[in-house]
Structure 1
Amino acid sequence: MYKHYPAAYQASAGSALDVDKAFYQRISDSRDRYQLVETVEVPIRSGRAWKVPAGHVFRISTPEGPQVGDLNMWHLHDPRERMWASRTRQLQGAHVSVHDRLWSNLPFLRPMATIVADTLADYGIDEHGGRIHDLLGTRCDPYVNRLLTGEDFDFHCHSNLTRAVLPHGLTEFDVHDVLNVFQCTGLNDDDMYFMKACPAKAGDYIEFFAEIDLLCALSTCPGGDLSVHLWGPEAEDPLSVCRPLRIEIFKVEDALLQGWQSPTSPAYKGQHGLALKEVDWDAQKAALGKGCC
């Protein structure tokens, strides 16, 4: 019964949660009017970064079969604005698909990208409660690997993303919680996070419409398709189930963008409850002496 309890955040008419589905469907239905701008190949156990202008579409695909990818994104012109996984979980869901949006952090809080196509959208919920494209977990990293195994490994998603963004002036501190594309996850009866084998096949894809100018980065997870155990007594090397991913960036025909505009941040005008006092400069000068300023 509790599963039908209403979501905390509800869309009101005209709000940013009230997605214009007809517009995004028009974009998705018009792939024959896309112009391919760039293709980026991401080899196994590595990361790549790319730029996407607002109003463009980028596609992430599995050219050779199942493979999980960890996605980060930032505002191209101000990387302090970046994807906020936890707020996206609250506003959209712990797993995302068509018409869901990826939101940025405070104080920006606006849609960065909207999903317009997903060949795995019909996967739904499996017998274990698993779903696709998750925001529940985050990137694997060398620190937790050291914690669990006592060994160093340099090709976890955190490290792959770090190497990918260094040429763009970003560092490890800019890498943030991810969208796990093509990853099947859920919570078990003990409320613990689980991962399952990726169900993607060669040629599956997910497409994003860039709402603002973006810098994106993607890691091909060193766990590959997650069909083998990565930690614990049954752990084994998943190298044999690692595959590349592909990114394609498309320019959308201008006519398709009619009526769309890049979203702005909420116009919060408050000072978080802090009162600003007007400075009495004459009194300041008198207190400091006549020689001041």
Structure 2
Amino acid sequence: MHIRRSPEEIAANRARYEEHQKKGLEFAPTALPGKSEKPAPAIAADQVLHREVIPGGWYWATKVRKNEVLRVSLDEGFSTVTVVAWNAAEPTERLNLPDTVKVQWTTGLGKGRVILSDMGKVMFSVTEDSSGAHDCLMGGSTASSNAKKYAGANGPDIRNTRDNLVKMTTKLGLDKRDIPAALALFAPVRVDADGKFLWKPELISEGDYIELRAEMDMIVGFSNCPHPLDPNPVYAPNPVTVTRIKAVEPAADDLCRTATAEAVRGFENNVLADA
């Protein structure tokens, strides 16, 4: 049932939210930096554990160890790639975007932010990011969204994120009920004053990349399919490169570990879980 709220009630709710947000943002020992510079720095050959090129329309899953880094890069042109993740030791713990957004008071993920699990622990730290254009709200494509956009959408070459993730989880020994809300990387989605989703292509440029440091041992899955809001009428996702980089122990004053009160508490939960 849809409940209509009065303008006065809406204004009062917004005022309460803004007051809570103000208190949540008062703790900021480290200012978050701007976007990472391009081009992405070269990775020494002896630091690369694996490099996978995910073709347009396909998916891939990998295990990562704590402190290893996943660089996701648009080396062959624009594409949106969605990400899901599970705790390798206990897959019932998984990526949680609502909490990631809620406790950091922003949908804007970028360098210095963290990505949380549904147990209040940090799964990823965003250590580098050249775009800041990632979608925490809409998730990936489905057969239905593809059918509205593409001719011949039922053909084998026009795949979608939902079906890819179902196939992936089955191969991993998981169930489709284990699929969390997916983070869409390189998806320049913004929300206007009326709450409408907008696609802002100017936020993405050639050679964009993001680096995600694993803060626990995980299973991480990727699906390389166009975002539902991508206006391109042609189904043409480009290959996306994922590079797994050797672990390095973060410094005590690491940006992601100290930038916000929420990150500090999340890492405290990680320590308690490992004790």
Scaled by the length of structure 1, what TM-score is found?
0.67
The answer to whether structure 1 residue 216 and structure 2 residue 220 are counterparts is yes
Higher relative contact order (CA 8 A, sep 6+): 2
Decide whether the 8 Å contact of 1:66 with 1:199 is kept in 2: no
Instruction: Specify the alignment match of 2:65 in structure 1.
Output: 53
Aligned-pair distance for 1:18?
6.8
1:116 aligns with 2:155: no
Give the C-alpha shift of residue 158 in structure 1.
1.0
- Say if 1:68 and 1:9 are closer, same or farther in 2 by CA, change over 3 A: farther
User: In the alignment, what sits opposite 1:239?
Assistant: 235
Q: Is the 8 A contact 1:68 1:225 kept in 2?
A: no
CA distance in 2: counterparts of 1:162 and 1:194, whole angstroms:
27
Structure 1 pair 223/133, CA: closer, same or farther in 2 (3 Å)? Answer: closer
Task: Give, as a single letter, the amino acid of the residue that structure 2 aligns with 1:116.
Answer: T
Alignment of 1:122-161 (within 5 A): 132-143=133-144, 153=154, 155-161=159-165
**Any residues of structure 2 matched to 1:143-292 within 5 Å, and which?**
143=144, 153=154, 155-197=159-201, 199-223=203-227, 226-228=230-232, 236=233, 238-240=234-236, 242-253=237-248, 256-257=249-250, 259=252, 264=269
* Displacement after TM superposition at 1:96 (Å): 0.4
Q: Shift of residue 200 of structure 1?
A: 3.6
Equivalence map 1:58-97=2 (5 Å): 58-92=70-104, 93-97=106-110
Which is strand-richer, 1 or 2? 1
Q: Distance in 2 between matches of 1:44 and 1:117?
A: 24
Higher mean displacement: 186-195 or 89-98: 186-195
Task: Summarize deviations over 1:39-93 as a string: whole Å, max 9, x none.
Answer: 1221111111111100111111111111111111111111111111111111232
Gaps of 5+ in 2: 1-13, 258-266
Point out the structure with the larger helix share.
2
Distance verdict in 2 for CA 1:18–1:140, change over 3 Å:
farther
CA distance 1:80–1:67, shift in 2 (3 Å): same
Letter of the 1:141 counterpart: T
Change in Cα spacing, 1:81 to 1:20, as seen in structure 2 (3 Å) is: farther
**Aligned mates of 2:168, 2:26 — CA distance in 1:** 39
Structure 1 residues 46-55 or 136-145, which shifts more? 136-145
Deviation at 1:196, TM superposition (A): 3.6
Is the contact made by 2:188 and 2:204 (CA closer than 8 Å) also made in structure 1?
no
Note the alpha carbon deviations across 1:207-240, whole angstroms, 9 max, x for none. 0111111111111114599242xxxxxxx3x224
Please, which runs of 5 or more residues in structure 1 have no aligned partner? 122-131, 229-235, 268-293
**1:20 offset after TM fit, Å?**
10
Distance in 1 (alpha carbons) for counterparts of 2:206 and 2:149: 32
Percent identity of the aligned residues? 19
Separation in structure 1 between the aligned mates of residue 208 and residue 72 of structure 2, nearest angstrom: 9
Matched, 1:10 2:24: yes
Q: Is the 8 A contact 1:66 1:225 kept in 2?
A: no
Q: CA deviation at 1:184?
A: 0.5
Q: Distance in 2 between matches of 1:196 and 1:11?
A: 27
2:120 and 2:96 map into 1 onto residues whose CA distance is 8
Q: How many residues align?
A: 236
SS in 2 for 1:207: strand
Summarize the Cα distance change of 1:80–1:39 in structure 2 as closer, same or farther, 3 Å threshold: same
Q: TM-score, normalized by length of structure 2?
A: 0.71
Give yes or no for contact 2:69–2:211 (8 Å, CA) kept in 1: yes
1:67 is paired with a residue whose SS is: coil
Structure 1 pair 225–169 and aligned structure 2 pair: CA distance change class (3 A): same
Matching residue's letter, 1:248: T
Change (3 A) 1:147 1:243: closer
